[in-house]
Structure 1
Amino acid sequence: MGKKCRFLRCNWTRNMIEESLELLRNRNSQWFVENHCDIPRRTLRYHSKSGSSERNLGCHKILTEDQEKDLEERIIRFANIEFPLTPVGLLMSRSVFEFVERYIKHPFNKVEKFAVREWFRGFMKRHPRISRTKAQPMNPARAVNLNPVIVKDYFTKLGAVIAQLDLKGRPKNIYNMGEKGIRLTVHHKQNVLALKGAKRAHLVSHEHAENVTAVACVSVMGA
């Protein structure tokens, strides 16, 4: 068994920290102050460098609450318009890193221009509305047609055809034919960020796989 730590988690007060800083300023060793005040040397070094006697527990948020709330809303909005962010995309320079690099002092990787994954894990815990989900690929052509104006125009024309052929009230004479492409190769769906509980998260992606097309034709009555 390893050596049991004799320090409880931050069981020291601000007065104790101020006393320990005063002892360090009087050229007492960190070992002596650690045993005299029951404060770990690592904590003593932190307060000695910062000059602050405020107690700080855990990891600190890089963004403010308002900034994180705005980021949460943007992530949900991107998912709703079929452009969901991936975890890697959120961490890369065009999202979080570029913003904090310009406006905020941060511990992110400046060489690779990447936000640290510890920040991402903390962000996900603080915002339970967002969850990881598997994206459903959508062909770009279909994504373009999934537009309220185009959909409304389609049903307007469909209504005109039904009226012209006198098919209203005669569902057994109305047929629809559709086709479905079935992938023959294994396809791994990509993890993306979306609103927790969302049934689907579409990600526009090109089809680069061999397919078999199944065609079905059925009337409105199901025959």
Structure 2
Amino acid sequence: MVRKIIRKTTKRSTFTDDTLKRALDEISRGVTTQYAAHKKYNIPQMTLSYHRMELRGVNSSSMGRGTAIPYDEEAKLAECLITMEKWGWGLPRKDIFNTVEKFVIKNNFKTPFKNGRPGEDWYLGFSKRHNLSIKKPQSVEFARKKCLDPFIINDYFDILKKQLDALNLHDKPRQIWNLVETNFCLDPCKTKIVEKRGAASSRTTAGTGRENTTVLMAVSADGFKAPPLIVFKAKNMWDGWVAPPSEEFPGTTYATTAKGWMEANIFLRYFEKHLLDIFGPERPILLLYMMVTHHMLIKE
């Protein structure tokens, strides 16, 4: 089936939507007759008749017929799909077809759909009209996704404001610090590689997916960056892992753990021997420690 139609006529280009609305308004108010409006605005009489009898829906930018489903209902469906995707419940194309089929049958809409079920052409037009596309969702841990709940986020900022009020730190950005922990996966199968087009993909030895290098970085509210802490998976630190002095961030601290994850004793040593000196003598200090699954407020 042809999915890209090339228009061969230009009869719709003789008038605009504003002109059509003006002509229909004059006819409805009795200012002019349908024939006179046809002559005045160069609009076909059948077009005027169809619109007066409400046999035409919303005009499209392609100058074609109205949508099979009322445009307002389509817009509501598109908005619902966008909202569901935003909260992690995006629907695949098959489920959209099922939903539209039930909606059409329940509301007794007269559509060109076979047994009320839309086809591929309807979906292509629907996605184009409402700027939708098919994407592969990114995987995220349940605990992390749960923290995106607006009620949790609002509670977090409420607590943060109470702390700023209690410590009187609204105008002291150097005494507000954000400490963020992240990691880099070392599994080779997680990295895309360049290969010959059309040839079978080569195989690579995959790890457990749990081998990581952890990086801890602190930044103050006024933009001052503290030297980071880098934690490798190893028993001992090797000189080759350390960046040259001319390339590394000044004062970078290195450590090793059995799995490359942050451990309490490593963090405590970094906090006492490095961060406290960087914070300076001003007190109090508000430290926001953002980890993978939760946030902590630390005040000194």
Q: What TM-score do you get using the length of structure 1 for normalisation?
A: 0.47
Q: Which of these two proteins has the greater Rg computed from alpha carbons? A: 2
Higher relative contact order (CA 8 A, sep 6+): 1
Q: What TM-score do you get using the length of structure 2 for normalisation?
A: 0.37
